[in-house]
Amino acid sequence: MEIHGLVCNEMVSSKAICYEDSKTLAMLKSVDEKPISMQIFGSDPESMGKSAMEVSKLCDILDINMGCPAPKVVKNGDGSKLLTDLGLAKAVIQAVVENSSKPVTLKIRKGWSNENLVYKEISKIAEDNGIKAIVVHGRTRQEFYSRES
Ligand SMILES: Cc1cc2nc3c(=O)[nH]c(=O)nc-3n(C[C@H](O)[C@H](O)[C@H](O)COP(=O)(O)O)c2cc1C
């Protein structure tokens, strides 16, 4: 039996795709491995919808990042910061699912902190709004990449 893996790219910014950076799309277009899951991040539903339309043409699965803990990402409200605003997270999910021509999946953390564990709520929102699979990074944003939990 032949076994096919799944190639995943590193997350790309929806704002970069929409506004500034033709290089980002060119880089994504140059990937010729398949099947491939491409991951986008951002907290503006409109930019996320537009990038979903573009990036889904290039991949087999489109993944939304709601797990990244990096300060430069969360300071813009992106990545794991979305776990602190489930209304906005839902709007992002809806915009991406509506505009993607490919199945959409979601990467999350358990929550922002142990006082804010939202994995059950966000999973329900995701399921109700057309997300086909969820990957949970089993740490909170506060735990960053620590080995203790
Ligand atoms: C340098 C670095 C870059 C990462 N980039 C991404 C990314 O682009 N998208 C993503 O979903 N996860 C990303 N991750 C998170 C990993 O995919 C994984 O969820 C995380 O490291 C937890 O696995 P562990 O418990 O084995 O460390 C990154 C992690 C590191 C350390």
Residue from 6, 7, 8, 11 to probe ligand 1 pocket by mutation (most atoms less than 8 Å from CB)? 11
pLDDT at residue 71 in the model: 98
Q: Does 3 have pLDDT greater than 60?
A: yes
Q: Does 149 have pLDDT greater than 60?
A: no
Question: Does 145 reside within a domain?
Answer: no
Question: Does 147 reside within a domain?
Answer: no
pLDDT at residue 66 in the model: 98
Give the residue numbers spanning the domain of 78. Answer: 7-140
Question: Does 103 reside within a domain?
Answer: yes
Give how far Cα 108 sits from Cα of 30, 94, 121, Å. Answer: 27, 16, 12
The fraction of the chain above a pLDDT of 70, given in percent, is 95
pLDDT in tens, 79-123: 999 999 999 999 999 999 999 999 999 999 999 999 999 999 999
Question: Does 76 reside within a domain?
Answer: yes
Question: Does 135 reside within a domain?
Answer: yes
Q: Does 25 have pLDDT greater than 60?
A: yes
* Ligand 1 atom 23, closest CA: 137
Could you give the CA distance from residue 78 to residue 25 in angstroms, rounded to a whole number?
Answer: 20
Question: Does 110 reside within a domain?
Answer: yes
Pocket of ligand 1 (CB under 6 A): 10-11, 39, 65, 67, 107, 137, 145
Question: Does 2 reside within a domain?
Answer: no
Whether the bond between 45 and the residue before it is cis, its omega within 30 degrees of 0, is no
Could you give the CA distance from residue 14 to residue 42 in angstroms, rounded to a whole number?
Answer: 6
**What is the average pLDDT score of the chain?**
94
In the chain, the number of structural domains is 1
Could you give the CA distance from residue 38 to residue 51 in angstroms, rounded to a whole number?
Answer: 11
Read off the pTM.
0.95
Beta bridge partners of 37: 8, 61
CATH number at residue 17: 3.20.20.70
